[in-house]
Every structure is written in structure tokens, then in C-alpha cells.
Structure 1
């Protein structure tokens, strides 16, 4: 039995003469929250016994599970050197870096500390940022942190009662949120100083920052509606009702609302209209995870009848696939029996070049 499904899809740019074609590769199954770098690597999660484990997939097909006895974990960040940021769960909670060569560094947390769901990330210098909840009850403190080479520092709160960090770029700029009890505000730390991002909305949160300083996140309107937004040149751009999933260094973004979109050159493209879902043999685009600088998108497909779904990579044809297509590609010749997997929670509930597929 053929153990790997590859599909071919054409993505036609709405209102434009040119068409962009994508190869669709299936990741290990099951797979969730798959992050990409530019080195033909991916890192994400697999479900094992009802628990999520972090996994890295290398260009040669090698799969590395980020396992520590007694703990399970999830991947929260992934950089160009192949280092993954892992949040571990067990009797206690912790953070750790897992390097390409197999070494790992556990990041100690202060006593009575819980990592918040505000997001956490790392840059190519292995600088880690996030948010932590220290203490209990009225003495609890929620603050953003920055960790590098064994040193943990709390970020300047800028006079806000609570704050958290979500992402850091290679210039050291950090984005996140701050709150005084009147609604969260998206913020950016430059040279250690907190600045509030311009937003006409009731509340906002910054989730991503690229190396050019473009910021992505969400805002909340007066009716409680969630909007995917980006900040460029100090101004907030509203992409529409939904949740921003990722941005790349070329200024493209992917976001999900009632549909799934690619935003580039100032406009949003409905991916569901660009991908002929009939060519996916009934599977529908289910979620978006990441986009790298070559425009490759990690996503998931779902069978609306059985709710089976699996991670895929949408890759432009001009990017040389690894391995070569003839090793893995099935040109819509038939169906596979696809293993079922546990549905991950939606973003609202919780918080490289070509990446090869794994032979099952």
C-alpha cells in the first residue's frame, strides 16, 4: 500500500492574470501547529496516547522527538539553526531548548510560576521570550520575560499592572501585550522600553514581529469581535474578522476567520477559492500554522464527513522539493486510508525550504 499522499493543486490569484501553483505534501500524521524555517526543516506536534509531543523533521527525513521521561510537551518556537523551544508538562511545567545536535537546555522557572498562554518564542540567537504568572491570589504577578544564556530578566512593565511577551525578532524587538485592567493593548519593547502600538480598537494583542519590524496580532472591537491585524509604519491595518496565524520577513501573513486567507501586497486572498478542494478528494482546508520566507505554508486538511485531518505543506513549484517528487508523489491516483487523530483546540480556545514527508 502506498503510505504517503501527495497532491497537486493550482492556486489562482483572484483578479490577477498570473497563477501560482503549489505542491501539497503531507507531514507526519498526526501533526499540529507545524513551524517552518528556511533550512528545509519543520517542527510541530504529534499525538501519542492522548498527549502532544514535540517533533522536529529534518531535510533527510530524520524525525526527532523532544522527549523527557515523565513529561510531554509542545513546540512553541523554531529558529534557523534548528533549535526548538519546548514547553513541558507533567508534575511541573517547564521550558527548554532542544538543539540540532541533540543537546538540550532546561530553563529554570521561579517557584510558584506558571507559563502564561500569551505565547512564547525564540530568535536565531536563542533568546527566549514569554510571559509568566508568579504567585497566587491577590499577590499574583503576570509579567513578560526575556531569557538568554541562563539569565532570566523581567521585561519593563511600562506602568502596566500585567504584561506578556509573544515573539522576538533578530533585531531584539519583542512584542506582546500589557494591561491595566481596562483591556489589553498590543505593545513592542525596543531597547528594553515598552511602547504601546496604535490601535483604535477596545483591546489588542501583538503576536508576531518579523525582522523588518512589521507586527501582527489581533484586535477586539466594541461588540467583542476578533480582528486579524498588522502594524506597519506605526499604523494598524485591519485584515478582517479572524485570528492572525503568522507573518514572514517578506510582509506576507496568513490568517483564519470564517475562511482561511493569505494576505500579501495589501490584499487578502481566500485560500479556499484558490485551492480546488475537489482535487483533495473531498478534504477541506482546516487550519493554517506558519508561513516561511519562500511562501511555503504549513496547514491542515480535514475530511468533513469523518473529521479526520492531517498536516500538510503548501509549497510553490519553483522551490525544489526534497526529496525529489518521483520518490513520493501520487498524482491524484487514488485514496489512502488516513489515520484518525485527535482534534487540536482552536486558537481562540487556548492558547525550509521544502520540508520532506515521512514514510509511514
Structure 2
């Protein structure tokens, strides 16, 4: 029995040590070269981004099947807006009318390379895709016949408006159960659409992401006038703050419950802090990369987090009046799957204790 307890305790110790928070850094600039901005990473580690110049921009994909680079002469300033876990990419670009007004149009590139315009409420009207789930259902926005921009679901070649009518709205997040969150374009109120039912959030809330546990993330205005990132589940808000910062915003939320965000102070020269929040712990990414060889670099942007906790970031610094930039992929060591080891260790200890009591 003592041997079994010792083995169980050892398994638990190894698992708990393996679950300690740490990140490895993959220098994507060194791997793929300069001139690319990587915007999305899916669960397979595939990348979607852009290359080229502002007016001659290419969509760049680094997929398991190989590298893809393509232009779209019908649109200006193209960029991927969503990358599915199977490698399907949604991208958007601009067109201009004779008065110089710009319009966003979205397209889908399938796994076979076929490019298809997203369905609109009427042929020729703009579309915008913001997110996609594992079933190929995308969400975003599209103007309707009355010229209101409607939160929209794109499914099976059709577009369906959701959310309040007679106002401008957008759907920003969808989970694998088909639940959607969105908000008005003035960021004054938000809604959830699930199983054909529309539910409004109380207060001045901007809901932007929802994961498979139906946890919602976004930002909301507090009574003191500060805006904070939040997690919402079963009617309860959990506000996410960073020490020394008055404001925080959500960038993304994954199915492991990890919230990616940033925090800042108004009229303050101190740098914006980018962070990952999970299980009550806040990891400041600025400090993390500085401790791993990037001290003196500034964060340009943080783009995306996948379900493995991998985060896409860009850094820059000025050396002798020359700007250097780096694109990095931060990967948890170990990845969240290690929690399974920890749970297995706990289960092992529990089983041994139950057997000991039975004896």
C-alpha cells in the first residue's frame, strides 16, 4: 500500500509541476521571413496573415498542406478575418464607390482553394465575417434591404439576420453549439442568440466572444466610469483587471477558458499591458517576453489565442533610427492538455485512499 501511495503521489507531483505556467517563444519572423503580419492561429497551429504592401496586399497561409499566397484584384487591403480549425479561411477587403465611400466584402477560401463570396441579403451588398465554428457556420454582419447593418449568420450559402431590427448590429462570436453573441455598433448593449431565442444583457455591455461552455467574454462599463474586460456565465459577471491599470478590454476567449486581453490607463504614457487570464491567474505577456530575451521591445499588437493557449503577438523596437519588428507565437509549456495529467494524479490518489479505507 505504501508503494501505491508513493507512486500516486509521485504522479500527482509530476503533473502539478508540469502544469506550472511557462511559455516557449517561436520567432515567426525568423521562421518565415520579414514582411508578414500573422493575424490568426488555429488549433492545429496553422497561420493566416497578410504580406505585401497596403495597396498590393496578399493573403498568406501557412497550412499543414503547405504555404499559400494569393491576391484578390477585386478588393483593396485584403486581410483574413477568421481561420477555421480545418484550414478554411475567411478574408475581407475594401471597395470604393464614385464618392469615395468604402465598403467591406468578405469571401471564403475552401480547402480545395475555391474562393466564394459570402452570401448577402441582396446581390452586390457588402458582407463581413468575424468568427467561424468547427461546423463551418460563420457570423458577422451584412446590410439589409433597409440599409441597417444586421448581425448575421452565414450558413449553407445563406445569410440570416439576428438581433434587434432597425439598428446597426454585428455578431462577433459563435461557439460549436451555434450560440452567438453580438452587440450594437455604438457598443451600448449586447445580446445572445441561441436555439432561436434572443437574450439581451443588462447594462452597457459589449459581448464579443462565447466558448463551448457558454462562457461569454467582452467588456462592460462600470459605475465608476471605467471599462473592464469580463467573463459571464449563468447570470454572473467576473470582471478582469490588471494591477495599476484602470481599463481593460477583451481580445479573444478560447475553449479552455483563457481570456486574452489588454489593460491601460487614459492619458498615461506607461505601456499598454497585454495579458492572459485563466483560473483566477493573470499572466502579463509584456513581462513574460521581456524575461525571455525581448527586454526593450514594445508590443505592437496581440492578435489571437487558440484552444491550446498559443498566442500571436507582434513586437517592435527602434535601434539607431531603424525600426525592427518581430512576430512571435507564444506556446504554454506544458499546453493545457497537461491538466489531464493532474486530474489523473488526483484520481489515482483518491482511488488508493478508497481502497485503503475498504481494507
| Length-normalised TM-score, structure 2 | 0.72
Corresponding residue number in structure 1 for 2:53 = 48
Answer yes or no: is the 8 Å Cα contact 2:118–2:127 preserved in 1.
Answer: no
Corresponding residue number in structure 2 for 1:167 = 173
CA distance in 2, matches of 1:74, 1:291: 18
Answer yes or no: is the 8 Å Cα contact 2:21–2:332 preserved in 1.
Answer: no
Corresponding residue number in structure 2 for 1:22 = 24
Report the alpha carbon displacement of residue 88 of structure 1 after superposing the two structures with TM. Answer: 2.6
Report the alpha carbon displacement of residue 164 of structure 1 after superposing the two structures with TM. Answer: 1.8
1:57 corresponds to which of 39, 53, 62: 62
Report the alpha carbon displacement of residue 299 of structure 1 after superposing the two structures with TM. Answer: 0.8
Matched, 1:187 2:191: yes
> Which SS does the other structure have where 1:126 is aligned?
coil
Answer yes or no: is the 8 Å Cα contact 1:127–1:148 preserved in 2.
Answer: yes
Answer yes or no: is the 8 Å Cα contact 1:197–1:234 preserved in 2.
Answer: no
CA distance in 2, matches of 1:249, 1:142: 29
Answer yes or no: is the 8 Å Cα contact 1:228–1:239 preserved in 2.
Answer: yes
> What are the residue-to-residue correspondences of 1:20-99 with 2, within 5 Å?
20-27=22-29, 28=32, 29-32=34-37, 34-59=39-64, 62-72=66-76, 73-91=78-96, 93-99=104-110
Answer yes or no: is the 8 Å Cα contact 1:30–1:311 preserved in 2.
Answer: no
CA distance in 2, matches of 1:307, 1:236: 41
**Higher relative contact order, structure no. (Cα contacts within 8 Å, ≥ 6 residues apart):** 1
Residues 251/278 of structure 1: CA separation in 2 closer, same or farther (3 Å cut): closer
> Which SS does the other structure have where 2:152 is aligned?
strand
CA distance in 2, matches of 1:278, 1:197: 41
1:251 corresponds to which of 254, 257, 278: 257
Answer yes or no: is the 8 Å Cα contact 1:156–1:193 preserved in 2.
Answer: no
Matched, 1:315 2:331: yes
Residues 185/70 of structure 1: CA separation in 2 closer, same or farther (3 Å cut): same
Count the aligned residue pairs: 291
Report the alpha carbon displacement of residue 211 of structure 1 after superposing the two structures with TM. Answer: 1.5
Report the structure number with the largest CA radius of gyration: 2
Report the alpha carbon displacement of residue 225 of structure 1 after superposing the two structures with TM. Answer: 4.0
Structure 2: where are the runs of 5+ without partners?
A: 1-18, 97-102, 242-246, 264-271, 336-359
Answer yes or no: is the 8 Å Cα contact 1:284–1:301 preserved in 2.
Answer: yes
